[in-house]
Structure 1
Amino acid sequence: MLIARYAVQRLRSKETIHVAKAVLGYVDRPGFLHRLTGTAKLILVGALVLAAMLTFDARLLLALSALSMVLWAVSRIKLSDLKVVLLIILTFMLLNNLLIFVFAPRYGVSLFGTEHIIVAGPGRWVLTWEQLFYQALVTLKYFAVLPGVLLFIATTPPPEFAASLNSLGVPYRFAYSVSLALRYIPDVQRDYETISIAQQARGLDASRKAPLGERAKNLLAVLMPLLFGSLDRIETTSAAMELRGFGSRKKRTWWSARPLRLGDWLIILASIAIVGVAIWLQYVNGGRFWNPFV
Structure 2
Amino acid sequence: MAVDMLSYIDRPSPIHRLTGATKLICFILWSSAAMLTYDTGVLVFMLVASIVFFQLSNVQFRDISFVVIVLAVFLVINNIAIYIFAPQQGVAIYGAKHELFHIAGWYNVTLEQLFYQLNITLKYVTVMPAALLFIVTTNPSEFASSLSRIGVSYRISYAVAIALRYIPDIQRDFRTIAISQQARGIDLSKNEKLGKRIKNALSIVMPLIFSSLERIETISNAMELRGFGKHKKRTWFTAKDFQKADYVAFIFVGVVLIVSLVITFVRGTRFYNPFL
Please tell me the TM-score bracket, short chain as reference: over 0.9
Aligned pairs for 1:128-143 within 5 A: 128-143=110-125
The match for 2:77 is 95
The match for 1:14 is none
SS in structure 1 opposite 2:56?
Answer: helix
- Whole-Å separation in 2 of the counterparts to 1:289 and 1:244: 57
Aligned pairs for 1:30-179 within 5 A: 30-179=12-161
Aligned pairs for 1:162-201 within 5 A: 162-201=144-183
- When residues 212 and 282 of structure 1 are mapped into structure 2, their CA distance, relative to the original with a 3 A threshold, is closer
Cα deviations by residue, 1:232-255 (Å, 9 ceiling, x for unpaired): 110000010111111222222222
Structure 2 unpaired stretches of 5+: none
The match for 1:5 is none
The match for 1:227 is 209
SS in structure 2 opposite 1:255?
Answer: coil
Contact kept in structure 2, 1:172 and 1:252, CA below 8 Å:
yes
- Whole-Å separation in 2 of the counterparts to 1:288 and 1:226: 50
Q: CA deviation at 1:218?
A: 2.1
Q: CA deviation at 1:93?
A: 0.5
The match for 1:12 is none
- How many residues are matched? 276
- When residues 170 and 118 of structure 1 are mapped into structure 2, their CA distance, relative to the original with a 3 A threshold, is farther
Q: 1:161 corresponds to which letter in structure 2? A: F
Contact kept in structure 1, 2:51 and 2:129, CA below 8 Å:
yes
Q: CA deviation at 1:215?
A: 2.2
Structure whose alpha-carbon radius of gyration is higher = 1
User: What TM-score, normalized to structure 2?
Assistant: 0.94
- Whole-Å separation in 1 of the counterparts to 2:228 and 2:128: 33
The match for 1:250 is 232
- When residues 39 and 288 of structure 1 are mapped into structure 2, their CA distance, relative to the original with a 3 A threshold, is farther
Structure 1 unpaired stretches of 5+: 1-18
- Whole-Å separation in 2 of the counterparts to 1:258 and 1:148: 21
Aligned pairs for 1:4-23 within 5 A: 20-23=2-5
Matched, 1:275 2:240: no
SS in structure 2 opposite 1:119?
Answer: strand
Cα deviations by residue, 1:16-73 (Å, 9 ceiling, x for unpaired): xxx5211211112222211122122222111111112221111111111111111111
- When residues 280 and 184 of structure 1 are mapped into structure 2, their CA distance, relative to the original with a 3 A threshold, is same
Q: 2:193 corresponds to which letter in structure 1? A: P
- Whole-Å separation in 1 of the counterparts to 2:196 and 2:103: 44
- Whole-Å separation in 1 of the counterparts to 2:51 and 2:176: 36
Q: 1:148 corresponds to which letter in structure 2? A: A
User: Which deviates more, 244-253 or 182-191?
Assistant: 244-253
Q: 2:73 corresponds to which letter in structure 1? A: T
User: What TM-score, normalized to structure 1?
Assistant: 0.88
SS in structure 1 opposite 2:23?
Answer: helix
4+ aligned runs moved over 4 Å, structure 1: none
- Whole-Å separation in 1 of the counterparts to 2:181 and 2:268: 62
SS in structure 1 opposite 2:162?
Answer: helix
Q: CA deviation at 1:162?
A: 1.6
The match for 1:16 is none
Matched, 1:207 2:172: no
- When residues 23 and 279 of structure 1 are mapped into structure 2, their CA distance, relative to the original with a 3 A threshold, is same
Q: 1:176 corresponds to which letter in structure 2? A: Y
Contact kept in structure 2, 1:282 and 1:288, CA below 8 Å:
no
Contact kept in structure 2, 1:42 and 1:164, CA below 8 Å:
no
- Whole-Å separation in 2 of the counterparts to 1:248 and 1:168: 21
